[in-house]
Chain A
Amino acid sequence: MADSQPSAGRGQLRPALPLLLPAYLWLTVAVFLPLSAMVFFSFVTDLPMAGRDWAATLEHYAAFFQTDLYGRLLLRSLRLGLEVTLYCTIIGFPCAYVLAKVLKGRSREAVFLLVILPFWSNGLVRVFSWAVFLRGGGVVDLALNAVLPFEVSIDLMYSYPAVVIGLVHSYLPYMVLTCYLTLQAIDDSLIEAARSLGASRLTVLRRLIVPLAMPGLAAGAVLIFVPVVGSFMEPRILGGRSGTFYGTVIEDQFVAVFNWPLGAALSFILLAVVLAVLALAAPVLRRHGA
């Protein structure tokens, strides 16, 4: 099953090395070194390159605390992360439940595939499709006008709700996937046993299903919350002027303002927040393995 050669013990690094080295070397150069560099650069005034003056400084971190701008935006992004995660949970969990417990066989496979499919298509394009959908004069208006007796023009574009909708649409499949995996591992006989002991459907849900599905819910929440907090593409496309978030500010430092060290500092703060969230979720997730 798992790993072979029980007698070999710990000293098998040698033969494994040539197989492991290329991949991990690549990851080091492209991911781990850059991340370390980013931490380093957040503490300097300017990039240490030829012809530039640079010195160690805490000014970028200070800037975070000096104005309330960054703090506010970070909170806004965190709030966005929580909202999107919440909606994805509320919408996604029942969907996963039906998929795991109600649908069977062919139809279950087919529907599962359909739910996962958008998840693997281009994220940018999906966000764009929402932009098309939500525009003033767009489909929503046409549909509503066909039904309602009076003229309406709902221009959801360039608003906070639009950003939320777009993000929920993008990340919903994550929650459905993780919840589905844990839910379908719950044996039907457990549910039947609870019913035979007199539990109503609601009680079964509350005391049996949700606790057992917790690892899936937690995994989904982490997979959604973390990227959303750092998102900038969806806010820019769907948010317009209401689309300023922590992620967009960081993006600005690199493509507009060119204050890279500040961008690095802000990134690092975001990373710290993300790691804190992951640390909180770890115990719940570890139960999944046990």
Chain B
Amino acid sequence: MTLTRILHGLGRAYVGLVLAFLYLPILIMAVMSFNASPFYQLPIDWSTDWFSALAGNRSLISAAWNSLYIAAITTAIATTLGTAAALALHRYQFRGKKLLQALLFPPIAIPWLITGTAMLIFFFAVGIGRGLHAILLGHVALALPYVIVVVSARLRTFAPELEEAALSLGASQWQATRRVPLPWIAPGVIAGALFAFAVSFDQFVVSYFLSAPGQTTLPVQIYAAIRKGFTPEINAVSTIIIVLSMTLMLLTARFFRFGGEK
């Protein structure tokens, strides 16, 4: 029995190491963004200079607004379209359903490099061109499969007998739909929406190819800044983004328990 205990202890320590590996660079980056010294010298000279410098960085700020703006619209569109599709796939049986479900995989499975460049070519050829509208087009397409998968998963846990029970108790179809399945799938829809927002906000590759001068998103702008050279302002904006993304993720987890615990 003690061997088991030792092994378990080692296992826990190992997981600790893995977590350290995952978080160390991020923490250091975050700490360094508060370091006035531009060359990461210790001891740390605590200051929020870089964050204030950020505020004056026009291109980063406008790119940030673009990102938020596009993410919000993407979320609205993808969640609506995706939930509708998920409902249809759940409720109805028809030929070609398997095919439709399979078609959800390419956008997720194919490397974004390929999808992104293909979009660029196609949009250019048909006259859609590049820019924020093109980026929006691409983001929604990337977010849709995630929303559909998430909402479908939630739908699958719903027992139709509940709705039937409501009907047998005298509720009208609308009442039954509103009060039984809708509240049930709401967490799934919210999770899907949060996914869509995250997918859009963090999207780099597709945004990169579909960007036009002056019409970029934050990750693209950061990338361009990195290519030019490291500045601690990038540190600062990166820290902000990471905190935002992680908070979003925590919210999603509340709505959609991962790991099959429920």
Contact = CB atoms under 8 A, between A and B. Distances in A.
Instruction: Check whether chain A touches chain B (CB < 8 angstroms).
Output: yes
Interface of A: 1-5, 8-13, 15-17, 19-20, 22-24, 26-27, 29-35, 37-38, 41, 47-49, 91, 94-95, 97-99, 102-103, 108-109, 111-118, 120-126, 128-133, 135, 137-139, 142, 169, 172-173, 176, 180-181, 184-185, 201, 222, 226-227, 229-233, 236-237, 247, 250-251, 254-255, 260, 263-264, 267, 270-271, 274, 278
B29 A132 contact: yes
Given A22-B85, A129-B238, A264-B117, 14 more contacts: A5-B91, A8-B92, A11-B94, A12-B93, A20-B85, A23-B148, A24-B85, A26-B140, A26-B144, A102-B12, A120-B249, A124-B202, A125-B245, A131-B230
Contacts of A123: 202, 204
B58 interface: no
B228 interface: no
A38 B22 contact: no
Contacts of B87: 19
A286 to B, nearest CB: 12
Contact count band on B: 35 or more
Contacts, number: 287
B106 A98 contact: no
B117 A263 contact: yes
Contact of B119 (A34, A124, A125): A34
Question: Top 6 nearest A-B pairs by Cβ distance?
Answer: A230-B111, A30-B141, A19-B88, A34-B122, A121-B245, A23-B85
B118 A24 contact: no
B223 A124 contact: yes
Contacts of A181: 259-260
A246 B110 CA distance: 15
B5 to A, nearest CB: 11
A60 to B, nearest CB: 13
A160 B110 CA distance: 24
A227 to B, nearest CB: 5
Contacts of B138: 30
A41 B28 CA distance: 45
Interface string B199-213: 001101100110000
A254 B81 CA distance: 31
B261 A122 contact: no
B92 A121 contact: no
Interface stretch (B13-21, B45-53, B170-178): B13-21
A254 B84 contact: no
Contact of A115 (B18, B124, B204): B18
A133 B23 CA distance: 11
